[in-house]
Structures are given as structure tokens and as C-alpha cells.
A and B are shown apart, each in its own frame.
Chain A
Amino acid sequence: MTGVISLLPEGWPGLLTPPPGTHRDPSTRTSYEPGGSCGCRDQGGRADGSYDSYNSYDPYNSYGSYGSYGSYGSYEHVSRYTAVGGYAPVAAPDALLDRIAAAGLRGRGGAGFPAAVKLRAVRDAPGVPVVVANGEEGEPGSVKDRWLLRHRPHLVLDGLRLAAAMTGAGRACVYLSDASAERAVRHALAEWPHDDGPRVDVVRTAPSYVAGEESAVVRRIDGGPALPTAKPPRPFERGVGGAPTLVANVETLARVALLHAWPDAATQVTGAHLVTLSGSHGRPALVEVAAGTRLGALAAACGHGEAAAVLLGGLFGGLHGAGWTGLPLDHEGLRAAGGALGCGALHFLRPEDCPVGVAAEATAYLAAQSARQCGVCVSGTGALSGALSAVTRGTADPDTPQKLLRWARQLPGRGACGLLDAAARITASLLDHFPGRLDEHGSRGCPRCAGPAAADGLRFSVTVP
């Protein structure tokens, strides 16, 4: 079972914990679900589709399997959310946008683009904008977005409402694939008396690695397949129905809502990250942590202290070996190290894991997840995955390392989305950070990565807590 852990300093308003000063006395907890449901949202909906059982859920229920910090083990009611300042009227949308800019909030979907720049571009483009809460997290190793939608949908809807106010949007959408998240969002929409702001539609898609890419989001909402398109135009120029469109990650929107409710804590709100930890011998965990925390300290604090290496950014930030424990958890620091924070998913390798085998599995998964629209992606991911698999089996040609190096340099930036870049970066980082590991496999292969590389991504998958 995936843990939920807040490592934020005392007093920081976070996404996993109740706001400061709102802890309830345990003796007043009278509304627990009888029978110890442990807050499992999948058990919340009834077969007839009604949601009355939510009303007996206690959002501050921390018993069960969520660890001592899992304060939103179940569902946060609208009453609880408004009691701590949620859905407060937007007095000055421009001032809020200025606050977001001053605080330096970056998008949490993966690219880390400044949120205020995107909001202003959408606001200033000709036409009536559309705002989209993007909850389709395609990275198998990330759970944060689905967790937020399942447990704190009002926080996301509030952020979406604020984004609509800041951009002057006439339409809003929540885009997702997770069935439990959809139930929670629809329930929240029914609870929320949204008398200001535009109508909110829920658009469901089939889950895939690329379905959450922003141009795929636009295409799906417009009734097409959830597949990326070539840029330009980007959605802020021409998105849903041709209108300028803000496609914002749900964690980004949740932080916008926190910034609105906690103006004095802007530095803390933007200086925290939701991350998902997996791999090694430790338990997988959804963690909220201050930016700049060293990855080694983060791993040790969450039971992954014996990890020998890490795959960063979901599958987007490459493999990192010696020295990885000293890397800081922020966009700039990881970029400087040739990595990427991406959506904040960190997959740890055990000392006995072979990085070549992990790279072979990751690229095999990416090759299988290719939308098969770009010839260069089909050929490129296929070649990288095939060559790495051949190395693990001991059947690679002698010039394979040279070929891998050439492809890792030739392929980035060439597909319509980032999938090919992810495969290229995993390969480049393997060659860069694990020199000699390919040669070690020689003609005998590697007993630690025996068998064909799995293309199902299961190694990297984490269950939503």
C-alpha cells in the first residue's frame, strides 16, 4: 500500500495535510465511517451511483493505511473546504496573477513552465479562453494528480475557478482517466454551489502515456483521439474549439487555490512539491517535500535509504548513479545535472538492480506507448529499446554503444510530444552515469536482467493511495 507522507516543516500549508491551525481534537471525531473503511475511495460509490456514503467520510481520518500524515485519507467535503477559506470570492484576479508571478509558481505537470506566463498568454490571446484541469497523469510512477482528484477535488476545482477568473474564461473542463477521480470530481461539482464562473465539464479519456500531453488534451476534448499534435500552434494560441486554452496540471491549480487562501504563505506554497517515490525495498509513497531537499535525504526519510541509483521525472529525467543523493529536488538543480524533475516521480534502484535492465524496460515501455504518429518516434524508441534489450541478452553488436550514443544525441526534440525525448534521455544518462555497464554485459548478457524486457511498465507503476 502506498504511503502518504508530509515532510513539510511545521506550519506550512500543504496539499496532504490540513491547513495550519485546523487540526481537530481527536475526541471530536465522531463521523468516522463505521467499520473502519480506511477511507478507501474506491469503496465510496454505491452500485446505484449515489454518493451519500461520502457524507459520513471524515477528511481528517488518518487511521487505516495512510500513515500518520495521511490526513486526507478520504474525501474532503465542501463544508470542510470552505471552512478553511476555500471558494472565497475573487476580489482582484489580476492581483492574484501578480502574486503567482511574484511567488514564481511553476507548472507541476512536468515541464515546469512558469504558471503566470502561461496564464497571461491565455488571457491576452484573442478570443474567449477555455481552462482545463489536466488530471490525466500518464507517468506510471506518479500518483499525485489522481490522489488530489480523489481526495481533495474541491481544491482543484477552486484552482480551476480562479484560473477562469484570471483569464476571463468562458468554459472550464476537468480532464481525467481515473474512474475514482471522476466519481469524486462529479460528487464535488454537485456539492459546490458554483454561482460564479463558467460551467465545468468533466471529460474522460482512456489512460495512456501521452493522453495528458497538452495538445492531446485539446484534441480529446474536441472529440478526437487523445494524441499529440505538432506545434505550433500551442494550446494557449489555439486550443479547445480554436480558443486560447490553459491546460494546467491539477497540482498547479491546487497550489493556485492555496495561494489564494494563504497569501502570506506564497513562498511555502510554491516552494513545495508533491513527489511519488517507488522502487528499491521501501514502500511506495506520495510525499510532499520542500524544494531543494537533497534526494538522498528524501529517500532516507521515506524508507528508501538503501537505494543505489534513481530514475528521475517518471521516465522523463534519466538514470542517475554515483552522486545522486546530493542532487537537489528542484527544476534548476536537476536540469544542471542533466536530469529533469518532470512530474516528481522518483523510481529508486536497489543495489542489485542492473541499470541497463531498467533502461531496457523503460524504453520498451515507451516504445509500446508511442502513439505511432511520428515515424521518428516509432523507429527511434524501437531502435533504443531493441539495442538495450540485445545488450541485456548478450547479443548486441560490438558497435551498439556507439549507435546508442548517436541516437541519444540525434533523437531529442524530434517527436510531436516528449515520449521520444524520455527514451533518448534514459539512454544518454545510462551511457553517461554508468560508464562500462554496457561493456560488462559482453557476450554473456546479464543474469540480473534475464528474460525479455517487460514492456508493460509494471516495474514503474505505483498504486494510488
Chain B
Amino acid sequence: MKLLLDSTRCQGYGLCHEPAPELIDLDDFGYARILAASVPPGGEDAAAAAVAACPNSALKLVK
């Protein structure tokens, strides 16, 4: 599974970080920074929660 961020959609809400702190960090400006584009085994639920948390649908999970 790959976690993809559309940077044109990320508005810096920051809601993705809490459900998946191992996968997503927030930078100094509040924008999401993907730490692990390839989701490690066991991280799928956290990744899916981060995708669901974004109010602007900036994240997606692809096979």
C-alpha cells in the first residue's frame, strides 16, 4: 500500500498527523509531510484513518 499526498489539496489542517504519527509529520508551516510512502505491514489502519481525517481529501491510499 502506498500513501499519496496531493500537495495542491493539502491546506494544512493537520488532522492527518494524530491517527498516523509514524507515517505523517507536520512541517514548520503545518503542512503534511509523508514520512513513509510505502505503508509498512500493520500500518494500514493508521493510514486509512489519516486518509479519512483529511477534510480536503488530499490523501489517498493506493495498492
Contacts and interface: CB of A to CB of B under 8 A. Distances in A.
B33 A410 contact: yes
- Most B CB atoms within 10 A — which of A373, A376, A379, A415? A376
Nearest to A376: B31
Contacts of B29: 375-376, 379-380, 383
B31 A415 contact: no
A403 to B, nearest CB: 8
A350 interface: no
A383 B8 CA distance: 18
A230 interface: yes
Contacts of A379: 12, 29, 31
A406 B28 contact: yes
Contacts of A403: 28
A377 interface: yes
Given A375-B12, A410-B33, A230 B7 contact: yes
Interface in B1-46: 4, 6-12, 27-29, 31, 33
Contacts of B31: 375-376, 379, 414
B19 to A, nearest CB: 20
B23 to A, nearest CB: 15
Nearest to A414: B7
Interface in A357-399: 373-377, 379-380, 383
Contact of B10 (A229, A232, A374, A380): A374
A379 B10 CA distance: 12
Contacts of A416: 6-8
A407 interface: yes
Nearest to A374: B7
B28 A407 contact: yes
Contacts of B10: 374-376
Contacts of B12: 375, 379
Nearest to B9: A230
Interface in A226-284: 229-230, 232
Nearest to B12: A375
Contacts of B33: 410, 414
A229 B8 contact: yes
A112 B44 CA distance: 35
Contacts of A377: 7
Given A375-B11, A414-B33, A230 B6 contact: yes
Nearest to A407: B28
Interface in A63-106: none
Interface string A279-309: 0000000000000000000000000000000
Given A410-B33, A414-B33, A230 B8 contact: yes
Nearest to B62: A232
A376 B6 contact: no
A230 B4 CA distance: 10
A414 B26 CA distance: 12
B28 A374 contact: no
Contacts of B8: 229-230, 373-374, 416
A231 B6 CA distance: 8
A144 B50 CA distance: 45
Contacts of B27: 376, 410-411, 414
Interface of A: 229-230, 232, 373-377, 379-380, 383, 403, 406-407, 410-411, 414-416
Interface of B: 4, 6-12, 27-29, 31, 33
25 contacts: A229-B8, A230-B6, A230-B8, A232-B4, A374-B7, A374-B8, A375-B29, A375-B31, A376-B7, A376-B10, A376-B27, A376-B29, A377-B7, A379-B12, A379-B29, A379-B31, A406-B28, A407-B28, A410-B28, A410-B33, A414-B27, A414-B31, A414-B33, A415-B7, A416-B6
Closest 5 CB pairs of A and B: A379-B29, A230-B6, A376-B31, A374-B7, A373-B8
